[in-house]
Chains A and B, each alone.
Chain A
Amino acid sequence: MRTVTVEEHFASPGFLDGAGRQLKEGLLRTGARGLKIIEQLSEVGDKRVAEMDAGGIDVQILSLNAPGLEQLEAAEQITLARDSNEFLHGVVKAHPKRFHGFAALPVAAPDKAAAEFERAVRELGFKGALINGHTRGRYLDDKFFWPIFECATALNVPIYLHPTVPPKAVIEASYGGFAPPVTAMLAGAGWGWHIETAVHLIRVILGGVFDRFPQLQIVIGHLGEGLPFMLPRLDRNMAKEMTKLERPFAAYLRQNVHYTFGGFNFPATFLDLLLEVGVERIMFSVDYPYGSMAAARAFLEQLPVSAADRERIAHINAEKLFGL
């Protein structure tokens, strides 16, 4: 069975000493495992392909690791996005059957972001863009950012919305008061990341982005970042009369969003997602190098779905959505 994974990361040269410096410091504090991750993020060539062979992964669609460029000054974002995309283009060219790319965008300068997005898709052959959450506290429902959505719609490619840590006010109010590593985990991959991303997507829906761009597709990881669990409640409590949107709330989650594993190899959570949105919007992913390819692959094999549906999840849905 062919396998395409879609939340797979790399670090471009210089990233871990620039925008990703805090990430690197955090990884170094975790010792040997952190060192290995740093090495894996930076290696996007033969060695990674060998790992994919061993892990049963045919294709990775690569994205610049979080926190990406979203928290930098606009001028810096513009330069670094271009550099990162050029680097990634080289990586993909060396292994065109094994790698594809998502563009990094200078989100803080939406017109420039749209131009880079178009260049990355049309000239470099990228399959979409990945945005790491808010831009210094501003969310994508803000019309300021809509040139990016307009561009995605024109190019007919999706945008992957990857988690980032919440704005400072939320970290302090919700996750503060514990030892710094505990606060960091609670605000990050232990919980806060996922809520942050779910809130972001809810804001995008309520802000009318999908009414303005009905063809737009957003991809989120982590089996839907908690949204499947809350989907029926959101739908019941936010009727169209209140939201003033064109469709019921749940319709956006079922028609404008795709969902990937992202390391959430959890059967009960998967079932929740499957029962709420259906198999055609669910896609395999590993969250490399944070998640294990072998573990994700084993989970994929065990999913309580038919063989045909397993194929959809493993590669067909991704091929269709990303035009692979």
Chain B
Amino acid sequence: MRTITLEEHYAMPGFFDGPGRELKHRAETVGGRYANLIERLCDIGAKRLAEMDAAGIDMQVLSLTSPGVEQLEAAEAIALAREANDYLAEAVQKNPARFAGLATVPTSAPGNAAQELERRVRAGFKGAVINGHNRGRYLDDLFYSPILECAEKLAVPIYLHPTPPPKPVLDTYYGGFNPMLTEMLAGGAWGWHIETAVHVIRLISGGVFDRFPRLQIVVGHMGEGLPFMFQRFDIMPPAVTKLKRTYKDYLRENVHYTFSGFNFPPSFLDLLLELGGVDRIMFSADHPYQSMQWARAFLEQIPVSAADKERIAHGNAEKLFKL
């Protein structure tokens, strides 16, 4: 069975002197796991391919690791996005059967972001990755329309990756514990996911999919909690929201979902049953933060037919990303 993974990360060495400096600092002070992460993020070649071979992963669709360029000033974001995309383009060119790329876009300069996206897609990139809010501003803000319009026009999806919530939320919800714990709680343990779900809800509520009805957003982590609340959205009907469709419609027609380390059968079932089918569920591993072997083993065990497993493992991704 062919396997394509979709939330797989890389970074160029320069990233660790910019937005990734926190990881570098940890590598220098704590070492071990963090140093290893940096090495694996920067390698998009032989070592990564060997790891993929060992785990049974045929293809990775790569994106710059979080926090990406979303929290930078526009000028810095423009330059770093270009550098990130150049680095990725070169790696993909060397192994086009094994790697594909999602473009980093300088969201704080939406016109430039749209240009960068178009240029990269014309050169073979498969979509864009956006790491959540842009210093507290969300993509439902009309300011960002050029990016969304461009993605719709090019018929490529935008992968919405988590980021920590804006400071008021972080302080109110996750403050008061030791800093490491607050960071984890606001991050990969919980806050990241709620933040991303809120972002999707904002996209819907702000009418993004009424303006761009063919736009496709991809979220990881089995849907970031949205499947759990799926039916509850019925209490916000179009009469209240003034939207053209219901929340459920947008979640079933404009969003795709990947595993990315949520290799949890009950959460998977929740997503599967709420979507009413497998057409929008896609495999992913979240390399190098989560294990490819673990993801692959989970894929083998999900309670679906062989044909549906193929859709999840590669068929849906091939269609959506035109692989």
Binding site for B on A (CB under 8 A): 137, 141-142, 166-167, 169-170, 172-175, 177-179, 181-182, 185-186, 189-191, 194-195, 199, 202-203, 206-207, 222-223, 226, 228-230, 232-234, 237-238, 242-243, 264-269, 271-272, 275-276
Contacts and interface: CB of A to CB of B under 8 A. Distances in A.
29 contacts: A137-B172, A170-B168, A170-B172, A179-B242, A181-B240, A182-B240, A182-B242, A189-B235, A190-B232, A191-B233, A199-B194, A203-B176, A206-B185, A207-B176, A226-B228, A229-B228, A229-B270, A230-B267, A233-B221, A233-B264, A234-B189, A237-B184, A267-B273, A268-B269, A268-B273, A268-B274, A269-B227, A272-B267, A272-B270
Contact of A190 (B140, B176, B236): B236
A119 to B, nearest CB: 31
Given A182-B205, A237-B188, A276-B266, A174 B169 contact: yes
B165 interface: yes
A236 to B, nearest CB: 8
Interface in B172-221: 172-174, 176-177, 180-181, 184-185, 188-190, 193-194, 198, 201-202, 205-206, 221
Contacts, number: 148
A169 B177 contact: no
Contacts of B273: 267-268, 271
A13 B246 CA distance: 38
Contacts of B177: 206-207
A206 B232 CA distance: 28
Interface string B219-257: 001100101111111011000111000000000000000
B277 interface: no
A151 to B, nearest CB: 23
B168 A173 contact: yes
B231 A269 contact: yes
Contact of A173 (B165, B227, B264, B267): B165
B140 A177 contact: yes
B244 to A, nearest CB: 14
Contacts of A272: 228, 266-267, 269-270
B229 A275 contact: no
Nearest to B188: A237
B45 interface: no
Given A229-B267, A233-B262, A167 B185 contact: no
B136 interface: yes
Interface of A is mostly: helix
B86 interface: no
Given A185-B235, A223-B228, A268-B227, 9 more contacts: A141-B176, A178-B205, A207-B177, A222-B232, A228-B228, A230-B193, A233-B190, A237-B189, A272-B228
B132 to A, nearest CB: 12
Given A179-B242, A267-B273, A238 B194 contact: no
A207 B141 CA distance: 36
Contacts of B140: 177
Contacts of A276: 266
Given A174-B169, A195-B194, A275-B265, A233 B228 contact: no
B17 interface: no
B267 A174 contact: no
A238 B185 contact: yes
Given A173-B168, A185-B236, A237-B184, A199 B228 contact: no
Nearest to B273: A268
Given A173-B136, A174-B198, A266-B230, A206 B181 contact: yes
A230 B180 CA distance: 20
B288 to A, nearest CB: 16
Q: Which 9 A-B pairs have the closest CB atoms?
A: A268-B273, A237-B189, A275-B266, A169-B168, A266-B231, A229-B228, A232-B264, A272-B270, A173-B168
A242 B180 contact: yes
Contact of B241 (A174, A182, A232, A234): A182
B217 to A, nearest CB: 17
A285 B242 CA distance: 32
Interface centre among B168, B193, B230, B261 (most CB of A within 10 A): B168
Interface centre among B225, B229, B267 (most CB of A within 10 A): B229
A271 B270 contact: yes
Contacts of B181: 206, 238, 242-243
B171 to A, nearest CB: 7
Given A185-B240, A268-B227, A191 B169 contact: no
A164 to B, nearest CB: 13
Nearest to B198: A174
B267 A232 contact: yes
Chain A CB within 10 A, most for which of B172, B181, B193, B227: B172
Contacts of B31: none
Contacts of A226: 194, 225, 228-229
Contacts of A228: 228, 266
A232 B232 CA distance: 22
B184 A242 contact: yes
B79 to A, nearest CB: 29
Contact of A199 (B171, B173, B242): B173
Given A167-B172, A206-B177, A238-B185, A271 B269 contact: yes
